[in-house]
Amino acid sequence: MATYRQLLAQKEALEAQLAEVRANEVSGVIDQIRTLMEQYGLSIDDIQGKRRRGRPAGSGANKVAKEPLPPKYRDPKTGATWSGRGRTPAWLGKNPNRYLIAKE
């Protein structure tokens, strides 16, 4: 049975052999790809493709800041307000109509 050090040496030799074989195969594949691109007149843009789902790239950077919604409800004791969106505050209770803010 092989020792730990012998197995590590075998592993390193195999990894070196794998790297060498991969490099040789990759260079051949790249040559094939370039040849096919020249034959068919393709560019890198043709190969990359286009985004098909979701928002266009870079759309997140141009977001417009939204103004907060005006409050609909006000707690007379604390002055806390709620716009009617999100989690309902505990102070609103079962009858939210009594906390409605009158429209001006």
pLDDT digits (tens, 9 = 90+) for 56-65: 666 665 667 7
Q: What is the pLDDT along the chain (104 residues), one digit of tens a residue?
A: 789 999 999 999 999 999 999 999 999 999 999 999 999 998 888 888 666 677 666 666 566 778 888 999 999 999 999 999 989 999 988 888 888 988 76
* Token digits of residue 103: 């429209």
Collapsed DSSP state (helix, strand, coil) of residue 103: coil
* Residue 47, C-beta contacts closer than 8 angstroms, at least 6 positions apart: 37
